[in-house]
């Protein structure tokens, strides 16, 4: 594939057998790039509200935003400042700041007991942006539902039961991340990119909107702009799905770079869909064939994520790269 295709989630769910098959075929062909666009039914009013409140939060002064840092969570909830997260392939921190959140599990749930660093109560700036907590949690749940449904297309595409992923992602430590990329002319030394080249660790990632161009996908060794149709969600695949499919579905390599034609900041919100942390990432039997022999040994989802959190510089007591915004 040399282009990202556009499919329709609702046609898969509500269409004829032929329409469902066409969606599966288009999705699997497009995911050779690690990316696909899809029509969806998430409320545009909800997306507007979430992005508006997030813009209000990021417009606050630095000291106010830093009150929402959640120490000890390795960037899995609360605020993360500029020049912290770093692509695993780079030693230059990304020029971005973030607000992270997700759903929590009830006290005593075995997943929360066994993996206390995965399930955090959301740390959201309700005191500074009234109403933001309920809006962002509703947004999170809507996008999580969309991703669960989209994984059904991929499950059919790799030859397993349509509902294979339903149970594990229902209690996965799914993370929503709002990212503000400041204007590049404010970057210290002018040496930073918005986000260096990387692949996500999770199953799939959803991006419903960005306020400016900048996302680029690596296809056949070239960087290609990701420009979905208006109102469509970008879906990209992660390293966990690549392992589970024995490489049949590759992870999508991408970066975020400022477009000179659109100076200024960029705001986007992505959601990372994870399996439950006790899930073993064992290649699916349907994806192991004589033409595609077994490529990966099993690893727990939790362990795969821990390694990547260190690689991308979010382990607070073991930063791989340390740089001050004033450098």
| Confidence (pLDDT) at 325 | 45
pTM of the model: 0.91
| Confidence (pLDDT) at 261 | 82
| Confidence (pLDDT) at 117 | 83
| Confidence (pLDDT) at 118 | 84
| Confidence (pLDDT) at 326 | 42
Rounded CA-CA distance 286/55 in Å is 44
Q: Which of 162, 225, 175 is nearest to 204 (CA)?
A: 175
- Match 């030859």 to its residue by tokens: 159
Q: Which fold has domain 6-311?
A: Jelly Rolls (2.60.120)
Would you kindly state where each structural domain of the chain is located, as residue ranges?
6-311
- The predicted-structure confidence for 28-58, as pLDDT tens digits, reads as follows 999 999 999 999 999 999 999 999 999 999 9
- The predicted-structure confidence for 288-301, as pLDDT tens digits, reads as follows 999 999 999 999 99
Confidence check: pLDDT of 324 > 60? no
Phi, psi of 228 (to 5 degrees): -75, 160
Helix axes 17-30, 132-157, angle to 10 degrees: 100
Q: What is the mean pLDDT of residues 75-87?
A: 85
Confidence check: pLDDT of 85 > 60? yes
Q: In percent, how much of the chain has pLDDT > 90?
A: 76
Q: What is the mean pLDDT of residues 119-128?
A: 94
- Match 């499950």 to its residue by tokens: 155
| Confidence (pLDDT) at 5 | 97
Q: What is the mean pLDDT of residues 269-287?
A: 97
Q: What is the mean pLDDT of the chain?
A: 91
Mean pLDDT is lowest, of 118-122, 138-142, 206-210, for 118-122
- The predicted-structure confidence for 188-205, as pLDDT tens digits, reads as follows 776 667 888 899 999 999
Confidence check: pLDDT of 18 > 50? yes
CB 96 within 8 A of CB 195: yes
Rounded CA-CA distance 80/183 in Å is 17
| Confidence (pLDDT) at 319 | 52
């Amino acid at each position: 594939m040399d282009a990202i295709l556009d499919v329709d989630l609702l046609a898969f769910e509500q269409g004829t057998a032929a329409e469902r098959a066409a969606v599966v075929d288009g999705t699997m062909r497009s995911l050779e790039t690690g990316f696909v666009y899809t029509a969806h039914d998430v409320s545009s009013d909800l997306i507007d509200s979430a992005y508006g409140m997030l813009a209000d939060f990021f417009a606050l002064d630095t000291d106010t935003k830093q009150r929402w840092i959640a120490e000890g969570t390795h960037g899995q909830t609360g605020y993360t400042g500029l020049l912290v997260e770093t692509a695993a392939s780079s030693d230059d921190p990304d020029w971005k700041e973030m607000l992270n959140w997700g759903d929590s599990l009830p006290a005593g749930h075995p997943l929360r007991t066994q993996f206390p660093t995965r399930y955090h109560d959301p740390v959201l700036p309700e005191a500074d942006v009234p109403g933001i907590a309920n809006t962002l949690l509703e947004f999170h749940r809507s996008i999580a539902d969309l991703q669960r449904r989209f994984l059904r297309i991929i499950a059919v595409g790799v030859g397993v039961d349509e509902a294979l992923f339903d149970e594990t992602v229902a209690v996965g430590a799914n993370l929503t991340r709002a990212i503000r990329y400041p204007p590049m002319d404010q970057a210290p030394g002018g040496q930073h990119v918005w986000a260096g080249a990387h692949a996500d660790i999770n199953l799939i990632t959803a991006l419903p909107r960005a306020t400016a161009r900048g996302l680029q996908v690596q296809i056949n060794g070239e960087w290609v702009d990701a420009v979905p149709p208006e109102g469509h969600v970008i879906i990209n695949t992660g390293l966990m799905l690549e392992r589970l499919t024995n490489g049949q579905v590759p992870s999508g390599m991408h970066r975020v770079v400022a477009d000179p034609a659109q100076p200024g900041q960029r705001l986007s919100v992505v959601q990372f869909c994870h399996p439950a942390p006790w899930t073993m990432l064992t290649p699916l039997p349907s994806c192991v064939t004589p033409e595609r022999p077994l490529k990966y040994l099993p690893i727990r989802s939790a362990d795969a994520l821990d390694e990547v959190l260190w690689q991308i510089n979010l382990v607070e007591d073991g930063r791989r790269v340390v740089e001050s915004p004033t450098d």
